[in-house]
Each structure stands twice: as C-alpha cells, then as structure tokens.
Amino acid sequence: MSPPIEFGATWRCVGEQRRYGNVMPLWLCDEPTPAFTDAYKLARGMLVGVGYSWTDRGHGQPQLLACWWDMGVTVDVAALQVEVDRVVAAAAAEREERARQDQERHERDVAAAEISAPPIRSALRQLLDERP
C-alpha cells in the first residue's frame, strides 16, 4: 500500500521501521511539496492520524524527511482529499492576500518616495554646488 494522498510528490518505500514499539512500512518523501507542508501545518492532527509525519528513520540524511507510516488503518481517501484540498486552498489564499498587502505597501512606499524625493534631490544638489 502507498500513501493515500501523494500531494504531487514522489514517495518511496524504505521497508519496515519501528515506530512506537510497532513495526510498519515507512514511505519517505525527499522533497515535500508546498501542498504537503501547507496541509501538515493546517491539518496536522488529521494527517498524523492517518500516518503522515516527519522522520529521521529510514534514511541517512541530516534532516527530517516527510513520511507516511502504513499503520494498517482504513482511510476514507475521499474525505481526506476534501479536507486537504480545503486547507491547501486556504493556505494559497492566505499567501495571495499577503502578496496583495505587500504590493499595496510597496505602492504606498513608492508614492511616498515620489513626493519626498524631489526636495531631497534639490537639497543634495545644493550641497554639491556649495561644496564641490
């Protein structure tokens, strides 16, 4: 069995590993997608409940890797997908809103600079003219 949702990432089975005293198949994702990290941040309890997590097991890399433990439980994939889609969309909307706010802030800063720049330039020219 493979992870119920792939999140657009590549998963690989690294065999059975021990977790909380149980031996179960472990799947690793070397490069988690933004969809996985968004879903994990916003719906961690749900994802952990169906086996998703981060681990230092099954690999020799110095960081934690995204993983899925095959706990042998039945997962309602359709319901899981609906919730994942919802939280991923919410994270995308939040990023878009932050980008919009950043753009507005940038536009305000540019407008303010356009107002304050001419007198500053004039004062600098005067200083250079007076002290060559």
In a domain, 117, yes or no: no
In a domain, 124, yes or no: no
Number of domains in the chain: 1
In a domain, 115, yes or no: no
In a domain, 108, yes or no: no
> How does pLDDT run across 5-26, given as a tens digit for each residue?
999 999 999 999 999 899 999 9
In a domain, 128, yes or no: no
> How does pLDDT run across 115-129, given as a tens digit for each residue?
999 888 888 998 888
Q: Which domain, by its residues, includes 89?
A: 12-93
In a domain, 44, yes or no: yes
In a domain, 101, yes or no: no
Share of the chain above pLDDT 90, in %: 74
Residue 34 has what pLDDT?
Answer: 95
Cα–Cα distances in angstroms (integers) from residue 73 to residues 43, 56, 81, 126, in the given order:
18, 23, 16, 77
Residue 31 has what pLDDT?
Answer: 95
Q: Across all residues in the chain, what is the average pLDDT?
A: 94
* CA nearest to 38, candidates 80, 95, 79: 95
> How does pLDDT run across 42-68, given as a tens digit for each residue?
999 999 999 999 999 989 889 999 999
